[in-house]
Amino acid sequence: MKRLLAGARIEPRPVTGTTTVCELVDGALLAYNGARLREAAQLFVRRMLEDDVTVGVSLSGALTPAGLGMSCLIPLIEAGFVDWIVSTGANLYHDTHFGIGLTMHRGRPDLDDVALRKDGVVRIYDVVFDYAVLLDTDAFYRRILFAPEFQREMGTAEFHHLIGRVVAERQRALGLTRKSLLAAAWEQGVPVYTSSPGDSSIGMNVAALAIEGCKLKIDVSRDVNETAAIVLGAKRAGGKSGVLILGGGSPKNFVLQTEPQVQEVLGIEEKGHDYYVQFTDARVDTGGLSGATPSEAVSWGKVDPDKLPDTVVCYCDSTIALPLLTAYALAAHPPRKAKRLYERREALMENLVREYHQAHDFGPDGGLKPRP
């Protein structure tokens, strides 16, 4: 019985008008998902932000329309706390609005959507914006994607890097700063991937331009191998891999499948990600990936079984959890030197290919011999 009651007593100090974010998280979030948020913040700061940890972040749900790109993700990138990103295309498309001087506004979730359609207003729950924002952003993409540098095949990291440079230039021309996640990632050398390139307005515009003769093609296989190479490279350098999962969906799987790609598919010896933090509202009992637990991920080889204690799932809306995590991390941990993984992609891929060849017996013609 004494062992079961060995945890710290529940007796927090009163929250006051001078309570800091660290005092709030550490001292007042003591139970239920508040406690999970505290554990997530502490794990992120105390373990995941060590210099030898490579941090991947997945973004799903309408985060950038809610302003989380500007309020949280850009500060985290600039502090060196994010090393690579997997996002829905929609988050990056809506991020672009802000970088090219367009606006979104606070609204209400109970507005008449038929009336909104008649008035040319688009709604994302309680965020509203002019339909012209979509048309202007589409025009921006359709104009720049005919530039010579886009007339070839590339992965989404290179694609978003090129987009980020153009958005950064537009920001400067408009006298804007720190508006676009893509621009910040370009400046800090953070590769940004999209797990489903066709599933957004960016992909829709790429498809339309293909009809007009644009030569751009997205190499999804490059993305699968490149993200796996990032994780393998972190481990082979003697470091660790951590994932911060905002929401679930395809980006969650894409950031986690790096380990099965290394182990199961490429046959390279590895054990799984070392640290895992997720904010989600998805249920576990429906069998979907969004609600799948770190323990379940162990069975797939996605998470190192020895590191399961270094995993936290907090059932909380990211619009609540991420600002608190960001404020806590920036207050409690000094900035890290940016790893600038975008510029190291080729070297990381070379290492992956080399280990793949070493893990298999290749015949004289270069082909893989059948396994016995």
pLDDT of res. 372:
43
Return d(Cα 47, Cα 185) in angstroms, integer. Answer: 23
- Out of 302, 337, 339, 369, pick the active-site residue: 302
Host domain of residue 103: 21-356
Check if 302 is active-site. yes
Whether 4 maps to a domain, the answer reads no
pLDDT of residue 313: 97
Q: What is the DSSP string of 67-113?
A: THIIIIIHHHHHTT---EEEE-HHHHHHHHHHHTT---EE--TT--H
Closest C-alpha among 136, 271, 257 to residue 205: 136
Flag whether 361 is in a domain: no
Residue 4: predicted pLDDT: 86
In a domain, 230, yes or no: yes
Which tokens belong to 55? 């941090």
Residue 372 falls inside a structural domain: no
Q: Which residues of the chain have pLDDT under 70?
A: 362-372
What pLDDT does 363 receive?
Answer: 52
Q: What is the pLDDT of residue 160?
A: 99
Residue-wise over 181-194: b if at least 16 C-beta within 10 A, else e?
bbbbbbbbbbbbbb
Q: Residue 366: its pLDDT value, please?
A: 55
State the pLDDT at residue 370.
Answer: 46
Q: Are 148 and 126 in contact (CB under 8 A)?
A: no
Q: Provide the CATH number for the domain around residue 172.
A: 3.40.910.10
Q: Is residue 363 part of a domain?
A: no
Quote the number of domains for the chain: 1
In a domain, 244, yes or no: yes
Domain membership of residue 365 (yes or no) is no
Q: Is residue 10 part of a domain?
A: no
Instruction: Using only the alpha carbons of the chain, give its radius of gyration.
Output: 22
Q: Which of 265, 245, 247, 246 is nearest to 256 (CA)?
A: 245
Q: How many residues does the chain have?
A: 372
pTM of the model: 0.94
DSSP one-letter string for 251-271: HHHHHHTHHHIIIIIT-----
Say what the pLDDT of residue 3 is. Answer: 83
What is residue 371's predicted lDDT score, i.e. its pLDDT? 46
Residue 240: helix, strand or coil by DSSP?
strand
